[in-house]
Amino acid sequence: MLNTDLGGRVVVDTATLPWQPSPESGVQRRLIERDGGEVARATSVVRYAPGSRFRPHSHGLGEEFLVLDGIFSDEFGDYGPGTYVRNPPGSSHAPFSERGCTIFVKLRHMLAQDSARVVIDTARAHGYPGVAQGLQVLPLHAFREQRTALLRWAPEAEYGAPVHAGGEEILVLDGVLEHPHGRYPAGAWVRSPYGSTHRLFTQQGCTIFVKTGHLPSA
């Protein structure tokens, strides 16, 4: 059990977390949040050594991941840096990496009725202007109240976010995101609870992976 109290705000510097072994040789993970045993609602950074693989398995409540570096593969294709993949509830695959890779992955966070599989190369995809000047939004997936997107912030951009009825989760991918409570460089993971609101800004610019609407009320 790790960071399972969804009613509070949590900040994790993922770059400082220790690498821990997984059940498969050559696959390690940095645990960010985890509720359960080996089958768990979880958020992690996972690293595949070159030539490593995971045995075939299914995802009862889905899996989504963003490739941070290297090339992640399974029987459906190869996914390079910046690729977002969403495998819906009930899906299965046998992942591996010939060259090695690192991914940010979330397990068992989806609604059972959400059946879409999504693959987006965010390095090539184009977003649209956000509601704040200097903000570009690349939608990745939406189902009911849940939203996943990549946000690119220009230097000096600022956004006073509305109330997040279903909470908010951010992973800073590059640059530095700022908040009245602190500065968050690449690798920072921030989870804000149901009903939270805040002002976000950046002096130098940044890119963030963000999810909203997936956290329950207290």
Single out the residue in 120, 135, 168 at which a domain terminates.
Answer: 120
Q: Which residue has the higher pLDDT, 197 or 135?
A: 135
pLDDT range class, residue 181, cuts 50, 70, 90 = confident
- Residue 161 in this model has a pLDDT that exceeds 80: no
Distances (CA, A) of 88 to 103, 107, 112, 114, 115: 17, 10, 8, 7, 5
Helical segments of 44-95, H only: none
- The CATH code of the domain that includes 170 is 2.60.120.10
Q: Identify the band that residue 218 occupies on the pLDDT scale cut at 50, 70 and 90.
A: low
Q: Mean pLDDT for the chain? A: 94
By percentage, how much of the chain surpasses pLDDT 90? 80
Structural domain range at position 57? 17-120
Residues 139 and 158 in one domain: yes
Does 12 fall in a domain? no
Angstrom distance (rounded) from CA 136 to CA 91: 31
**How open is the CA angle 65-83-150, to the nearest 5 degrees?**
80
| 7 inside domain | no
Shared domain check, 116 and 23:
yes
Note whether 108 and 148 are same-domain residues. no
Confidence tier at 160 by pLDDT (50, 70, 90) = confident
Residues 132 and 196 in one domain: yes
- Cα separation, 119 vs 64, whole angstroms: 10
Overall number of domains in the chain: 2
If asked whether residues 99 and 141 sit together in one domain, one would say: no
Burial of 127 (0-12, 13-18, 19+ CB in 10 A): middle
CB 134 within 8 A of CB 153: yes
90 inside domain: yes
* Average pLDDT rounded to a whole number, residues 55-75: 95
pLDDT at 198: 83
Domain final residue pick, 68, 96, 120: 120
Tokens for 58, please give them.
Answer: 């299914």
| Residue 202 backbone phi and psi in degrees, to 5 | -150, 135
pTM, full prediction:
0.95
More confident residue, 214 or 206: 206
Same domain, 161 and 198: yes
